[in-house]
Structure 1
Amino acid sequence: MNQGLNTIAALCVAASALTAHVTLARDASPQWQETLDAAKGQTVYFNAWGGGDNINAYIRWAGDELKARYDIELSHVKVTDTANVVSRILAEKSAGRDVDGSVDLVWVNGENFRSLKQNDLLFGPFSEQLPNLALTDTTSVTLTNDFSTPVEGYESPWGGAQLTFYYDSRRVEMAPNSAEKLLEFAQQNPGLFSYPALPDFHGTTFVKQILSETISDQSLLASAADPELFLEQTEALWDYLDQLHPLMWREGASFPSNIGQVMQLVDDSELAIGFTFNPNDAAAAVLQGQLPSSVRSYVHEAGTIGNTHFVAIPYNSSAKQAAMVTANFLLSPEAQARKANIEYWGDPSVLDSSKLSSEQQSLFQANKLESLLPADQLGNTRQEPHVSWVELIEAQWRERYLSQ
């Protein structure tokens, strides 16, 4: 590990030490104190993706803090697909289990949130009662709408995400920072780019990004897709992919299985460009020796798709107060700074830095990795298309490219 990376690691450790001495946002209201009192001794069954060691370790840390500060037990129920959690809560409602549900808090966004909300499976609105929500930009469209579904207080923001590309600067002179330039790069450098096959989340996100850059009327993406007009409206997308695929890795005859394989292929020099939905992933991979130090990150000039992921409380939770305290703690400067730190997770914060004290802002200083992430200004964030577009995109993609 070079000297610059060692310095970064030292800063991360220093920030971690400082974290222990910074207090949470004031929990001053009598109503919130009643919530804190009721939460004591409760156990929160937190259903969250369990496929990342760093994420699992972060949730364990949060559990230790919640126990020490609030006498709350946090039990991480590791899931592989949040849709299964939605189905379980729906089954409990159908069976009349309106109390003592098996889920107290769930990591959720997008289509799963819409399903929970439409089926009246959520407790709330509750997020406006969380003291630390005031530390976010409560007017941000990515915090008030989840894949075009109004949040309306039924979930609390936890982290940010934005489609971010990265390239090996030893092999690529200039980042192809648009869909058009990416196609030109592939034409000049065949075999050096690919993306995971749909319905992989990252593969679908890449295709949605290309759709957002090629569709003639972007405003269409904010509303429900019209199946009868879908092929006409997405004609430019399929024309683009028809051109791109023969120029990709293995001539588009096969696709990487997931975004982890894409990263491995970049590290092995089989690909020169990769992408992720976490702006800090490439920097973290460099720090951990999973990518060469010559890797640089970038976003498309006109913006890339971004969203916020949330936590929500099911309607039949038996630990609603403790779930609210947990959601509030996850929004605290300490928890958000640790989560944003690439030594621990690297998940972007949802806090508005202008609303933080200088002491709270200092927690985030160790995450400024300009040497590894020169494109740390993420520019415009393109909104996620309405969730109804996804099913149509994935079905058409499979018909065109997997049935051949």
Structure 2
Amino acid sequence: MFNCSLPSAFKRALTALLLMSSAVVVQAEQTAEDWSDVVQEARGSTVFFYAWGGSNSVNQYLRWAGRHLNRQYGINLRHVKVGDIAEAVHRLRSDQAAGRKQGGAIDLLWINGENFHALKESKSLEPDLLSAIPNHVHLLTDELPLLTDFGVPVDGFEVPWGMGQFNIIARDGSFAESDITPEQLLTYAQQNPGRLSYPKPPDFIGTTFLKSLLQALADNDQRLYREPSRSAERDLLPVLWDYLDQLHPLLWEKGGAFPQDSAQQLQWLADGQLHAAFSFNPQEMDSKVRNGRLPETVTQHYFAQGAITNSHYLAVPHNASHKAAAKVVINFLISRSAQARKADPRYWGDPAVVRLDEAEALLPTAQELHAGWQERLEAHWLARYQ
């Protein structure tokens, strides 16, 4: 096999290298065979996908994905529309409390943040999911913070699906600069009473508005990126409540009522009732202008410290009834073709998490707060203002 004149140590090393290479080839073949088995098992299954249903563009995109999955794999994708994925989290935790370890009603979840944190802690999610999805090799894990979710390591329990960035869509002329501060927002509210508002927490967009304000007002205190302690709450939250106490009397309905969600706020912006609305999709403004749902004159802004940026994910419950089919759905949804369509503002405009031919322009980024702050902010806000 080797020239006998080669040193024995070199021959041993070369033999080991060849054996390692053979093992890699065998492993790759086994992986391909394993995935073929997964696809075969998935055929004919119905996947119940619990996902937010409050956006026409998202709903239409999932209908498109469902048609493709049915044609190629014989999978029936059923989008179970929820107003808040916490509804699905509650159902899974109820299943766990009742000892239902299989045959669950939920096959696939669109999830992130505190909901992921809760399900990970309760061991309600299928482990080793990320490595089981072949298309995960195309993920932008080197360029984007995809392997932590609100400060919590993903650890393979969920698969990145898209990116979000908190941004402000405003009537033309509302703000002179692209980046604004909480003080500038307050000044605008003073000059235009009743023309600003924000979605009522615990709506995700409304809570992210609170987080953005706290991040700026607390001068990016590093305790915001760790599990909140009582001392951190005592030190950091008062500056937010002081600010909101000044802002609320200047809002729509003098802060006595709030838009139900981002979609309602954006509609009120389109109607001229409000001068600004908040979004967590940096391409939503472009998409809605293209579709005629916002005037061409609107402008996009972000808080001066950067736009809070995070990923959203797909996960499979540990007691899912159709795990193989759910994995095939995930593999398709993070394929380049599905991600390119999702990123296109004509369809959804949700930024891709895989490498595409054309790089997407993102807003300047700010770090997402630890998941624990979400619950604290919502609880304190509801107790103080409702």
TM-score normalized by the length of structure 2: 0.84
Q: Which residue of 1 aligns with 2:281?
A: 278
- Percent sequence identity is 41
Q: Residue 321 in 1 paired to residue 305 in 2?
A: no
Change in 2 beyond 3 A, CA 1:268/1:172: farther
Secondary structure at 1:61 match in 2: helix
Task: Give the count of matched residue pairs.
Answer: 357
Separation (CA, whole Å) in 2 of partners of 1:127 and 1:396:
35
Letter in 1 for 2:363: L
The residue that corresponds to 1:395 in the other structure is 379
Q: Give CA-to-partner distance per residue, 1:320-353, whole Å, 9 cap, x none.
A: 2221111110001111111122222222211234
Unaligned runs of 5+ in 2: 1-29
- The residue aligned with 1:24 is none
For residue 143 of structure 1, give the secondary structure of its aligned residue in structure 2: coil
- The 5 Å alignment of 1:189-338 reads 189-216=192-219, 218-338=221-341
Q: Does structure 1 residue 92 correspond to structure 2 residue 95?
A: yes
Q: Indicate conservation of the 8 Å contact 2:50/2:80, yes or no.
A: yes
Distance 2:220 2:367 in 1: 14
Residue equivalent to 2:6:
none
Instruction: Determine which of 19, 43, 46 is the counterpart of 2:46.
Output: 43
One-letter identity of the residue aligned with 1:208: K
Corresponding residue number in structure 2 for 1:5: none
The alpha-carbon distance between structure 1 residues 58 and 192, as it changes in their structure 2 partners (threshold 3 A), is same
1:74-223 to structure 2, matched below 5 A, reads 74-139=77-142, 142-175=145-178, 177-216=180-219, 218-223=221-226
Deviations 1:109-135 (A, max 9, x none): 111111211111111212123222121
Please report the RMSD computed on the Cα atoms of aligned residues, expressed in angstroms: 2.4
SS of residue paired to 2:180: coil
Change (3 A) 1:141 1:236: farther
- The residue aligned with 1:60 is 63
> In the alignment, is the contact (CA less than 8 A) between 1:176 and 1:182 conserved in 2?
no
> Could you tell me which of 338, 341, 355 is aligned with 1:352?
355
Q: Is the 8 A contact 1:104 1:313 kept in 2?
A: yes
Deviations 1:195-243 (A, max 9, x none): 1222222111101100111114521011111235413222221222222
Q: Deviations over 1:11-41 (max 9, x none)?
A: xxxxxxxxxxxxxxxx983333332233223
Match in the other structure for 1:70: 73
Q: Does 1:378 find its partner at 2:363?
A: yes
CA shift in 2, pair 1:181/1:314, >3 Å? same
The code of the aligned residue for 1:274 comes to: A
Provide the C-alpha distance between the structure 2 equivalents of 1:290 and 1:42, rounded to a whole number of angstroms: 37
When residues 292 and 35 of structure 1 are mapped into structure 2, their CA distance, relative to the original with a 3 A threshold, is same
Aligned-partner Cα distance in 1 for 2:149–2:72: 31
Gap runs ≥5 in structure 1: 1-26, 354-360, 369-375
SS in 1 for 2:224: helix
How many Å separate the matches in 2 of 1:261 and 1:76?
Answer: 22
User: Which of 24, 35, 39 is the matching residue for 1:32?
Assistant: 35
CA separation of 1:124 and 1:28: change in aligned 2, threshold 3 A: closer
